[in-house]
Structure 1
Amino acid sequence: MGRGGRPGRGDGQGRRRRSGDLFALGAACTISSFGDAGRPGPDIGILLELAARGRLAAEVGWRGSWERAGDAFRALLAREVVGKAVLDVRAS
């Protein structure tokens, strides 16, 4: 955890990782969501930059209509999806 109980970008040993580092020695780091999608943190910018440069792959293993969200959820729970599930939302 970083300052103020917020997730940090350290390696768990008090050392900061450089932006763009995909791998580093030390404790594993994770990105967690706590449901506050209204104020994305600086880490999302790092992820988007890595994806744009082709250094981070966001594999999509399931894609379908928003109306099939239940199917996507069941497939994820059953571990039938490798990667992310994407729900398409169409404007009416």
Structure 2
Amino acid sequence: MARALELESKRWTKDEAPLRLNSRCFSELAIDIIQIISQGQAKAESITLDLGTQIKPLLLEELARFLRSYQRAFDGFLERCRQLRNYRANVIANINNCLPFR
């Protein structure tokens, strides 16, 4: 998860335009993180259902940690990168991540 965030935040600071989906700014970060969490849960459950139950709170705590890191990285981008050409598009793409993460 940390690696996915690092790659995404590098795209912001390099002034790369976000992907577009149906003419809307889009980031794959939320999809990647949700898949990581989901795959971890599925892998644990494939070992034993009890392990799946035990791992769920740990995965949710990792997700909470990730979201705090994401917020710090995005706050830094908001403060330092206002002059970038794709600033607004990247802000919109990150706002569009809110619903999937929720």
Could you say which structure has the larger radius of gyration? 1
More helix by share: 2
Q: Which TM-score bucket, shorter chain as reference?
A: under 0.3
Structure number with greater CO (CA < 8 Å, separation at least 6) is 2
